[in-house]
């Protein structure tokens, strides 16, 4: 059509996340990582294809950034697509990347739901109707060596680690947990484990901590909800 109401152009994901097929130039190709140059390339292709891209100054464009990096995967967005509507899981207004109270919409982060169903299946029928053995669960980093993250999590994760390690269950909880090995009653660890183990441990926990990290957004919130763990 000469004046299409909508054009869907899924952009590539960052290399650390799941890859998406890019539908551009009439063929499909997988992009190993998203970069400023690759997205500018797509924008220029759209401009050459017709007048639609610039017909309203970009205000009628919807950009989906499903990774935790949000719009930061396109460093030049302010110069090229700032007028568009962003759908992104990064809802922290302090980053300056999204305006959830203005034009943008916060969406859940991407998680392959098959991993969630597998974790629930691995619980087994013998544990599906009984109390979960782990009271408090968290696996993740408490510090960051990435540039600009000297104040990682604003100290929240470090304070939580200290509080959990000092935590002593009250008598009624101690009685309920007496059959559970002590090392499994609370899990607060920075050790990296396979995703299958991480999700299974979460599925066997009552309370899952979801503290902020690089930003206020964290995929743990959605994982906990999917797996029946109180976030």
Distance of CA 207 to the CA centre of its chain: 19
pLDDT of residue 26: 36
pLDDT of residue 215: 74
What's the average pLDDT block by block, 10 residues per block, for the chain (231 residues)? 59 38 35 64 84 84 81 86 88 78 85 82 61 89 80 90 89 75 83 92 92 82 91 95
- The confidence score (pLDDT) of residue 6 equals 62
pLDDT in tens, 6-56: 666 655 444 333 333 333 333 333 333 446 888 888 888 888 877 878 888
pTM: 0.68
Q: What local confidence, expressed as pLDDT, does residue 3 receive?
A: 63
């Amino acid at each position: 059509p000469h004046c299409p109401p909508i054009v869907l152009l899924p952009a590539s994901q960052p290399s650390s996340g799941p890859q998406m097929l890019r539908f551009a130039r009439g063929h499909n190709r997988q992009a190993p990582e998203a970069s400023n140059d690759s997205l500018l390339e797509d924008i220029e292709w759209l401009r050459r294809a017709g007048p639609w891209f610039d017909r309203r100054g970009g205000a009628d464009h919807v950009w989906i950034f499903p990774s935790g990096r949000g719009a930061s995967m396109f460093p030049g967005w302010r110069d090229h697509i700032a007028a568009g509507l962003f759908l992104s899981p990064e809802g922290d207004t302090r980053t300056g990347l999204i305006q959830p109270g203005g034009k943008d919409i916060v969406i859940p982060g991407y998680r392959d739901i098959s991993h969630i169903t597998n974790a629930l299946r691995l619980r087994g029928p013998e544990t599906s109707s009984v109390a979960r053995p782990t009271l408090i669960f968290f696996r993740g980093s408490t510090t960051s060596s990435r540039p600009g993250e000297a104040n990682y999590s604003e100290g929240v994760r470090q304070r939580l680690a200290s509080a959990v390690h000092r935590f002593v269950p009250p008598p009624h909880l101690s009685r309920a947990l007496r059959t559970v090995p002590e090392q499994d009653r609370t899990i607060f660890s920075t050790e990296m484990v396979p995703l299958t183990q991480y999700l299974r441990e979460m599925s066997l926990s009552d309370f899952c901590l979801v503290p902020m990290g690089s930003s206020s957004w964290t995929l743990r919130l959605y994982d906990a909800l999917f797996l029946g763990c109180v976030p």
